[in-house]
Amino acid sequence: MRPLRAPTALPRPSCPRCLAIASSRQRRHFRLSAPRHESKRDPRLESVGHDKEDILDDYENIRESYATPKNPIVLAHGLLGFSVLNAVPLLPPIHYWRGITTALDALLKPETPIITPAVPPAGTIDQRAAALAEAIAEAAPRGRPVNIIAHSMGGLDARCMISSLTSKAAHPVRVASLTTIATPHRGSAFADFALDTLGLEGWYGLIGRTGLGTGAFRQLTREYMENDFNPSHPDAPDTRYFSYGAATEVPGLLSPFRASWAIVNNAEGPNDGLVSVASSRWGDYRGTLREVSHLDLINWTNRAKWEMRRVWTGQKRTFNAVAFYLDICDMLAKEGL
């Protein structure tokens, strides 16, 4: 593997409002500090290990073969996510798991289905977890456990479901493993910023009238995750927990993650534009995907950007999301799952 490059200097915010926030208010809102209610912390949080490795180009290409897990695979989407979206009539549908579902379906045996539930896009974790449990109970073969692979907030939905809802669905849900990818297990500094500085709560009435719901936003703050969610949702002893994080260098001027990356980087360190590596760690941490953004993780890669890099600098894209998910299945198979 190639050695990591030295960290790039943090960019100054590009708009006057962000500059003012960074200079006068950011230290107050986004300094690193210990949680205020240490007594509520789940002891499992203290045992989370450090990075085993930085993953640079392991998933650049799809291999010729992968081992097949024995249990069905569930793909749990993140905040504002969906399974398939038919946004415009006569145009092809938009898939959240772009190309990933097709590849996994080809890998798995006919009797081992792949399940892609759709939960309330911006509902509370409890609401999303309940919908996830019902969808799995309906689609999974009776009596068989499932392996859940979750992106972003989907990992919190799955943790909530596993700890408190698996026996309450129409048919009991058994979860053999949960693999989380860039899940904010300890919240995100950008959620803090959106609520405390941008005043997102002021838009709640408007957002609520759209039917999207608003419960998710406050639950993604660092305070809520550390002091409420984590202590009340311990891991299940009969479920295996794996996790991956991602980190990218300073996003380009036109990147939608430029401002959020800087905010999270100041408060939490390396991140994928929304979720830090530190917040992504849970259970058996499998490593940090380098030069990968939050959307790259679900194959929403900016191909035009990488083509420009290839032409002008010779730099190649070293992450193929399809290869990554196939390798997760391979890992689960080798773990006997």
Render pLDDT for 204-256 as a digit per residue (tens, 0 to 9): 554 454 444 556 778 999 999 999 999 999 999 999 999 999 999 998 888 88
Predicted model pTM? 0.78
- What pLDDT, on a 0 to 100 scale, did the predictor assign at position 128? 93
Q: Both tokens of residue 153?
A: 């907030």
Nearest Cα to Cα of residue 220 among 297, 295, 125: 125
Say yes or no to pLDDT of 317 above 90. Answer: no
Render pLDDT for 118-133 as a digit per residue (tens, 0 to 9): 998 888 999 999 999 9
Render pLDDT for 44-63 as a digit per residue (tens, 0 to 9): 444 444 445 799 888 989 99
The identity of residue 285, as a single letter, is Y
Domains, the chain, ordered by start: 39-334 (3.40.50.1820)
Say yes or no to pLDDT of 179 above 60. Answer: yes
